[in-house]
Amino acid sequence: MEDLKKIPAAKEDLDSYETENIFHSWSFQPAQSPMRAVSAKGVRFTTEDGRERLDFSSCFVSHNIGHGDQRVVEAICEQAKTLCSFAPSLSNKPRALLGKLLEEVTPGDLSRAFISLGGTEANEAAVKICHQYTGRRKILTRYRAYHGGTTAPMTLSVGDSRNWAQVPGGTEWVPVPLPYCYRCMLGQTYPDCGLQCAEYINQAIELEGGGDKVAGIIFEPVTGANGIVVPPPEYFPRLKEICDKWGVLMIADEVMTGFGRTGKWFAMDHWGIVPDIMTMAKGLTSGYLPLGATVVRKPIGDYFKDHFFSHGATYAGHALCCAAALRTVRIYQEDNLVENSEKMGKYLLEKAMELKEKHRSIGDVRGLGLFVGLELVKSRKTKEPMVPVGGKVQPGTNPKLEVAKKLGQLGMMAMAANPGNVIAMAPPLIVTRDEIDEGIAIMDQALEVADGFADAE
C-alpha cells in the first residue's frame, strides 16, 4: 500500500481516479472525467476551470435554499463541536426537534417520523410501514415513477432476525396509469375522460383483492425525473375517495416536490389532501448533508406503540444531519422561499411557454412552482418522442444528452440527463426574475440542438 498521504492529487490524477475508481450513477462509465465542481453560491456554481455556471437543476432538485448558505454551514459546525452522531437508541436534541418541526410543516396529523439518510431509504421505510400496519402485501405504483435506487435490501438479509417482518418474496407491485394527459395511456382526452386513470385504480384495487390484499399506493404528487407530470385538479380528491373506500394507504413521495418546490410547502397541499405516509429528502437539508424522512399520520404512528416497529438504521436521526435540516427548514419560513417559488414559478412557466412558440422540438410545457418541464418530441403532429422511452439504455447519440452537453458549454446545468424526454428546470427557490431570464436565454440557444433532431413542421 502507498503512503496514503502521498497519493498524487493533481488535475490529471483526479481525472483518472474518476474514470477508473468511481462508479457514475445511471450511465455508461465515462471515458473522460466529468467537469469538477469546486464551489457554489446562491444559484451558481464554479467549476475547476474557474468558470461560473448557472444551476437550474438545484443538483437533482435538492439545493432548494441555494448553495453556500452560511447559516446552515454554521449550524452544522456548531452541532459538530458537541455531537456528530450517537446510537439511535438514545435521544439527541436535533432529532427530537426535527420530529416536532416536521409535524408543524406537514399537513394534517402527519406527526411521527422515521429519519433516514435519503429518498430511497425514506421510501423503503414507507413500504415496510405500509406492510406492517395493514398486514397486506400489494402496493400499487404508477408507470413512469422513480422512488429510489435499491432493491429491497432486507429481502437479502436472510437469517438475520430483523428479516422476520419482511414480506415473503418482497413487495408485490401492481402498476397503474399515471394522469399524464399529454400522452394518456387510456387514449382519453382531459376533461372529457371522466378521470379514467383514477377509475382504473379503483378497478385495479378491486381485482387485486381489495382491502384484503392491497396495502397502499405510492406516487409522486408531481412526477419528477420522468417528466414533470402535473395531475388534473380533480385527480387527487378522487384518488383519496378510492383509497378511503378500500382502506388503501396513500404514500406521497415528496422527495422532489417537498419543501416549497411546487409553490406550497408540500405538493399535496395544492389539493388539500393529507396522505397517510409522506416521504421526503433532498430539500429537507437542501443537500448540505444527506437526510430523508418518512412521516406518518397519527393513527399509524400510534399503532407502533404496542406493535413492534421492524425497521431501523445506525444513522436513524443522525444528529449532525438533523441539525442541518433544522436550520434549513427554518430558512424556508424566514426567507419566504415557498412564496418566492410560487411567484417565480409562474414567471418561469410563462417564459417556458414562450420557448415552445419558438422551438419545434418542444411538444409540451408543464409545471407547478419552480418545477417546469419541456417535453421534447420528434414531431409535434404525431407526438413521437424524441428519445425512445423504456427498455435498456443504448449507447450512441441521444438528442436530449446533446442538449445537456450544449447547456454545459453555455454555462448552465438543468435536469436534462434524466430518463425520458423532458428537460426540467428547477432552480433554487431563491431565484430572481433576472436569473430566470438568464437561464431561459441559455435554454433558448441550447434548444436549437433539439430542433435539429425534430421534423420540420
Ligand X SMILES: Cc1ncc(COP(=O)(O)O)c(C=O)c1O
Residues near ligand X, by CB under 6 A: 60, 118-120, 123, 146-148, 220, 224-225, 253, 255-256, 281
Minimum CB separation from ligand X for residue 362, in Å?
23
Minimum CB separation from ligand X for residue 273, in Å?
17
Minimum CB separation from ligand X for residue 120, in Å?
3
State the residue number with the nearest CB to ligand X: 119
Distance CA 66, CA 76 (A): 16
Bridge partners of 42?
67
Q: Are 34 and 49 in contact (CB under 8 A)?
A: no
SS3 of 384, please? coil
Minimum CB separation from ligand X for residue 60, in Å?
6
In order of 99, 109, 137, 283, 330, the CA distances from 104 in angstroms are: 9, 9, 31, 16, 11
- HSE of 441, CA atoms in CB hemisphere, 13 A: 8
Distance CA 200, CA 418 (A): 28
Nearer to ligand X, 107 or 148 (CB): 148
Closest CA to 426 of 266, 126, 416: 416
Q: For residue 205, what is the DSSP state?
A: H
Closest CA to 62 of 407, 439, 413, 347: 413
Minimum CB separation from ligand X for residue 405, in Å?
21
Nearer to ligand X, 120 or 421 (CB): 120
Nearer to ligand X, 146 or 235 (CB): 146
* 147: alpha, beta or left? (left if phi > 0; alpha if psi -120 to 50): alpha
Nearer to ligand X, 118 or 301 (CB): 118
Q: How large is the greatest C-alpha to C-alpha distance in the chain, in angstroms? A: 70
Q: Are 385 and 335 in contact (CB under 8 A)?
A: no
Minimum CB separation from ligand X for residue 186, in Å?
23
Distance CA 288, CA 223 (A): 24
Nearer to ligand X, 377 or 425 (CB): 425
Distance CA 177, CA 147 (A): 16
Nearer to ligand X, 254 or 342 (CB): 254
Minimum CB separation from ligand X for residue 7, in Å?
29
Minimum CB separation from ligand X for residue 280, in Å?
9
Minimum CB separation from ligand X for residue 292, in Å?
6
Distance CA 420, CA 432 (A): 29
Minimum CB separation from ligand X for residue 97, in Å?
22
- HSE of 134, CA atoms in CB hemisphere, 13 A: 27
Nearer to ligand X, 101 or 229 (CB): 229
Nearer to ligand X, 208 or 220 (CB): 220
Nearer to ligand X, 217 or 255 (CB): 255
SS3 of 250, please? strand
Minimum CB separation from ligand X for residue 148, in Å?
4
Minimum CB separation from ligand X for residue 402, in Å?
23
Nearer to ligand X, 64 or 361 (CB): 64
Nearer to ligand X, 119 or 447 (CB): 119
In order of 79, 80, 262, 328, the CA distances from 73 in angstroms are: 10, 10, 25, 10
SS3 of 249, please? strand
Report helix angle 93-105 to 319-334, nearest 10. Answer: 40
Nearer to ligand X, 99 or 258 (CB): 258
Give Cβ neighbours of residue 241 (< 8 Å, ≥ 6 apart).
none
Q: Are 337 and 64 in contact (CB under 8 A)?
A: yes
In order of 85, 115, 265, 286, 309, the CA distances from 346 in angstroms are: 41, 33, 16, 22, 43
